[in-house]
Structures are given as structure tokens and as C-alpha cells.
Amino acid sequence: MTITRHELRQGKLSFTIWTVSIAFLLMVCVFLFPEMKGEMKAIGALFSSMGSFTAAFGMDRLNFGTLTGFYAIECGNVLGLGGALFASLIGASALSCEERDRTAEFLLTHPVSRVRITTEKLAAVLMQITAMNLIILSLSLLSMALISEQIPWKEILLMHLAYFLMQIELAGICFGISAFLRRGSAGIGLGLATIMYFLNLIANMADRAEFLKYITPFGYCEGADIVSDGALNAVRVAVGMVFAGCGILAAYLKYCKKDIH
């Protein structure tokens, strides 16, 4: 656990900034809800009449006037994008940062196997993502209680579960990529998360692009689907977890054989 502990300590500042930022934005959104609810008639009509833009964010199928509908859209953009960026970023830098910062020589000349380094670094990534999601979920629930709204437990928990799984998937894929990288990990991580986000928007707008939902993890995070189905799309989640598994497997295979510079 020495390496995991060290990784967590090294990532503390970045973790704190991301968690506080996402939680803060999410809470601000929730606190805006009571005020928005009153004006919802007008806004709802506006939001649902913006054509494909409306469809892109799933606003054609959600009722902006309910906390669930409001949260599904706000949450989808704040936690969805923020969490995805954070997960991709830490995944992509996990293995490559040692070579980028030229500390690889220090770490790898100690008697620790490459498998152990990979495992402990992966554990640190997963622990940070888990901790972040638990903190954000608690603060989000707290803020809902503070505005005295009935908490739609099932929908909220399902949505947060979906975002958590999405972050695991992105982190897993980026972790695999990071084993191949020496530098430039941040760009690749952020780029991947952004592309996945836009793929989902495209899939929402065009019926012919529906298959993209199986490629991007945002496909199973769609608030509108979760609320109307009352469940996650198991096939899309399963495909996503296979992607994550492949990424992690690739990381082990590559990192254990890699020449370290």
C-alpha cells in the first residue's frame, strides 16, 4: 500500500480542487431549483422548443419543473462532464507521470514489481474516483434536504451510479493509454472525455447515430433514459465495463514489459 498511499498524497490537491468545484456547482444548481420552479412554465416551453439542441441535452423528454428532471439535466452536465474530465485526467497520468516527471528511475529501482506498481496506482485512481463520488453524492443530497424538496432517491442514486460507472470506464481506458505514454497525458485524457461527451450529444440529436450510445459511456448516463426506464441500460454498461477491463489489461501487459526512460 506504500505506493497507493504515496499516490493519494501526491494527488491530494488536484482531488480537492476537482471535488470542491464539482460539488459547489452542483449545490448551486440545486439551490437555484426553488426559484426556477416558479418560472418553469415559461422556461420549460423555451427549453423544449430549441429543436435538436433540446434533444442533445435530453430536454425533450424530461420535465424541467420537477427536481428529478431538473437534476437529470444539470447533474448530467456538471457531474457528468466534470467527473469524466477528472477521471480521465487521473487515469491518463497514473502510469505516465513517473516518466514525464522523471521520477520513474527512483520508483523503479526499488524492489517493487511492475505488477505491484500498476495495481497500487490503479487502486489509487479507483479510490479517488470512489471518494469523489461519495462526497459529491452526500453534498448533493444535503443540498436537496436544505431546499426542503422530497428527495427522489431511486432516480438520484441511479444517476450517480451511472456517473460513477462512467468515470470508472473512462479511467480504465485512460489508464491503459497511460502505460503507452511518456508525456502529453493530460491532453489525451481531457480530449478523450470531451470527445465521448460530444459523441453522446450527437447520438441524442440524430437517430442514425444511435449506435454511438454503445461506444460512449455518456450513453448510459442519459438522465432522460434513466428516469423513464427506472434502471440503467445493462447492455451499454456491460459494453462500457468491457472497455474499462481492456484498458486495464492493456496497462498491465504494456507496463510490465516497457523500457523506462
Least distance (Å) between residue 186 CB and other proteins = 16
- Hey, how many other C-beta atoms are within 10 angstroms of the C-beta on 147? 15
Residue 37 or 100 having the CB closest to other proteins: 100
Q: What is the DSSP string of 23-49?
A: HHHHHHHHHHHHHHHHTHHHHHHHHTT
Out of 16, 52, 113, 228, name the contact with other proteins by CB under 8 A.
Answer: 113
**Cβ atoms 18, 190 nearer than 8 A:** no
- 14: buried, middle or exposed (CB in 10 Å: 19+, 13-18, 0-12)? middle
Residue 6 or 61 having the CB closest to other proteins: 6
Least distance (Å) between residue 189 CB and other proteins = 20
Least distance (Å) between residue 107 CB and other proteins = 8
Out of 35, 39, 101, 210, name the contact with other proteins by CB under 8 A.
Answer: 101
Residue 52 contacts other proteins per CB under 8 A:
no
**Cβ atoms 95, 180 nearer than 8 A:** no
Out of 8, 36, 107, 239, name the contact with other proteins by CB under 8 A.
Answer: 107
Total residues at interface with other proteins (CB under 8 A): 21
Out of 103, 138, 150, 228, name the contact with other proteins by CB under 8 A.
Answer: 103
Residue 16 contacts other proteins per CB under 8 A:
no
Out of 8, 25, 43, 108, name the contact with other proteins by CB under 8 A.
Answer: 108
Least distance (Å) between residue 10 CB and other proteins = 6
Residue 22 contacts other proteins per CB under 8 A:
no
Out of 35, 39, 105, 229, name the contact with other proteins by CB under 8 A.
Answer: 105
List the x/- string, 241-260, binding to other proteins by CB under 8 A.
Answer: ----------------x-xx
Residue 39 contacts other proteins per CB under 8 A:
no
**Cβ atoms 128, 41 nearer than 8 A:** no
Residue 73 contacts other proteins per CB under 8 A:
no
234-255 and 153-178 helices, crossing angle to 10° = 30
Cα(167)–Cα(163) distance, rounded to whole angstroms?
6
Going from the C-alpha of 40 to that of each of 8, 46, 137, the distances in angstroms are 43, 9, 25
Residue 154 or 183 having the CB closest to other proteins: 183
* C-alpha cell, 48: 423544449
For residue 12, what are the contacts with CB-CB under 8 A and spacing of at least 6?
A: none
Cα(193)–Cα(170) distance, rounded to whole angstroms?
7
* C-alpha cell, 105: 528511475
Least distance (Å) between residue 252 CB and other proteins = 16
**Cβ atoms 176, 93 nearer than 8 A:** no
The residues of the shown chain that bind other proteins, judged by CB under 8 A, are: 2-3, 6, 10, 101-113, 257, 259-261
